[in-house]
Amino acid sequence: MTHDLNPRFKNTICSISGASAMEVTEIIQELWSGYGQILRIRLEGGFPSTVIAKHVRMPTTENHPHDWNSNLSHQRKLKSYQIETAWYRHWSRLSGSDCRIPELLAFDQHDGEIILILEDLNAAGYPARFTSLSRIQLKNCLDWLAHFHATHMGAKPGELWETGTYWHLATRSEELKALDDLPLKNAASAIDSILNNARYQTIVHGDAKLANFCFSESGDQVAAVDFQYVGGGCGMKDLAYFIGSCLNESACAQQESELLDHYFATLRNGLTSKHPNIDPAAVEAEWRALFPLAWTDFHRFIKGWSPSHRKINSYSERIAREVIATL
């Protein structure tokens, strides 16, 4: 098993529980474009007995799957790891049991490398990962998003991304330049402006795809990971992206209204308990109207980034054409 933690990081990990030794038992994931690894580590003689380490280090050469290797891409990735560190250190404690995330156990940085030591969600009761969801499981994820958005409604992003999501226009000039759909390209700035200037803003996860949700064995409990692109924004960005990561185009068309209704019912409950001075009906009225724009915003990115991507489908094209016609 290939891994290379420096002695300082090993000491940091062992100090969490007074462990006498540590052992990497699994490389869970190679980070995007060779920027490090996510490791499962067993601790001997301490509690907890396992932890997750997100070890970030600069690659000697970038290996981007779509050949988007540039200094802009590199700087965006560097900032994303700095922001994830800030999230776990200063924001994560605000998330309650209704939007469960792993606890930060320790943090260290040395010689340009960063390590985040996180609670092992497998050991905490979230060992399942799914590539497709039942209707109930999908709605459980919508509940997570709604409670997350309700928790942070009106919060200023501070040291997080001013505008969350990895596809927001200000960081994707290369993909916009490559986009050959001229009506969509010409509408991109207006769509971005409308979303950014919505009256009701929250903190968005920023990469709320199915792969970033962990489940209890039964699938009825949900937790989320991967906060590199967390920041300010309209909650519809997370919602549109998540639904698109789970459903094919026919299911999106068939279930859109039902899923929006479920999300907003949970959001209303969350806002009523967490922010009684915010009118849930006003939030819903604004955000429902912005859902097609949020969908089109991601469609703009994906169409410039990878023109043959499977997510470019007739449903997304229809939504985009309808949005552009209203601008």
Residue 166 pLDDT: 95
Domains of the chain, first to last? 7-119 (3.30.200.20), 135-326 (3.90.1200.10)
The span from the CA of 203 to the CA of 101, in Å, is: 15
d(CA 62, CA 60): 7
Any idea what DSSP says for residue 229? T
- Burial (CB < 10 A; 0-12, 13-18, 19+), residue 182, is exposed
Separation between Cα atoms, residue 137 and residue 135, nearest integer Å: 6
**Residue 72 has what pLDDT?**
73
In this structure, what is the dihedral angle of CA atoms 225, 315, 168, 71, given to the nearest 10 degrees?
A: 90
Spatial separation of the C-alpha atoms in residues 270 and 42, rounded to whole Å: 37
Nearest CA to 296 out of 237, 253, 250 is that of: 237
Cα dist. 309→77, 211, 299 in Å? 22, 17, 10
Reported as a pLDDT band with limits 50, 70 and 90, residue 74 is: confident
pLDDT (0 to 100) of residue 269: 98
User: pLDDT by residue (tens digit) across 255-302?
Assistant: 999 999 999 999 999 999 999 999 999 999 999 999 999 999 999 999
> Which of 11-20, 60-69, 128-137, 312-321 has the weakest average pLDDT?
60-69
Range 294-314 average pLDDT? 96
What global pTM score does this model have?
0.93
What is 91-134 written as a DSSP string? Answer: IGGG--GGGB-PPEEEEEEETTEEEEEEE-TTTTT--B--SS--
Q: Per-residue pLDDT for 207 more than 50?
A: yes
Specify whether the CB–CB gap between 291 and 239 falls below 8 A.
yes
Q: Given a cut of 50, is residue 67 above it in pLDDT?
A: no
pLDDT band with cut points at 50, 70 and 90 for residue 69: low
User: 314-326 vs 249-274: helix axis angle to the nearest 10?
Assistant: 60
Tens of pLDDT, residue by residue over 216-253, are 999 999 999 999 999 999 999 999 999 999 999 999 99
Contacts of 266 (CB under 8 A, 6+ apart): 142, 143, 146, 147
The C-alpha atoms of residue 160 and residue 175 are separated, in whole angstroms, by: 23
Helical H runs in the chain?
A: 7-15, 71-86, 135-151, 173-178, 182-196, 236-246, 249-274, 280-305, 314-326
Is there a cis peptide before residue 48, judged by omega within 30 degrees of 0?
yes
Q: What is the pLDDT of residues 149-185, one digit of tens each?
A: 999 999 999 999 999 999 999 999 999 999 999 999 9
SS3 36: strand
107: amino acid identity, one letter: F
By C-alpha distance, which of 111, 115, 112, 93 is closest to 103? 93
- Residue 63, pLDDT above cutoff 70: no
Look up tokens 């759909």; give the residue. Answer: 181
